[in-house]
Amino acid sequence: MKQNLTALAAGLLFGAGLAFSGMADPARVQGFLDLFGNWDPTLAFVMGGAMIPMALAWLVQRRMASPLAVSKFSLPGTVQLDRPLAVGAVLFGMGWGIAGLCPGPAIADLGIAPLAVLPFVGAMFAGMALHRVLTR
């Protein structure tokens, strides 16, 4: 139960941050990616500002014996750059550039403009299902 409440609180905080920063606005994201047009640097500051608390969180995590809500840390290992990772990164970048959305903001936008974002979320879940089928 504690783990679920912690996850809910983190998700709400993340979603509020996305909405407040403008990351949930596809037009703002596309403006950021438009380097040779009407470039909007706002999201560079958002991403740069996110690095400070994340760096602090990593420092705190290293000093903790265990997390607050579960018995042990579940951290990803280092992965070498391989073809699936590279192809996934390219597809992610293309989708982000075309739609102005990535998974976090898309889920947050379900609460803001559900009809506008529903095709993207549907395609996102279809892609996840296709990946699961193809990688078995």
- Rounded to an integer, what distance in angstroms lies between the CA atom of residue 70 and that of residue 10? 14
| Distance linking the first and last C-alpha atoms of the chain | 32
For the stretch 81-115, pLDDT in tens is 888 889 889 988 888 888 888 888 888 888 888 99
- Give residue 82's domain range: 2-134
- Work out the percent of the chain whose per-residue pLDDT is above 90: 20
Give me the chain's average pLDDT, please: 87
Structurally, how many domains does the chain consist of?
A: 1
Amino acid at 2: K
- In this predicted structure, what is the pLDDT of residue 98? 87
Please state the rounded mean pLDDT for residues 42-55.
Answer: 88
- In this predicted structure, what is the pLDDT of residue 85? 85
Q: Which of 61, 86, 82 is nearest to 72 (CA)?
A: 61
Dig out the tokens for 52 from the structure: 């400070």
For the stretch 111-134, pLDDT in tens is 888 999 999 999 999 989 998 998
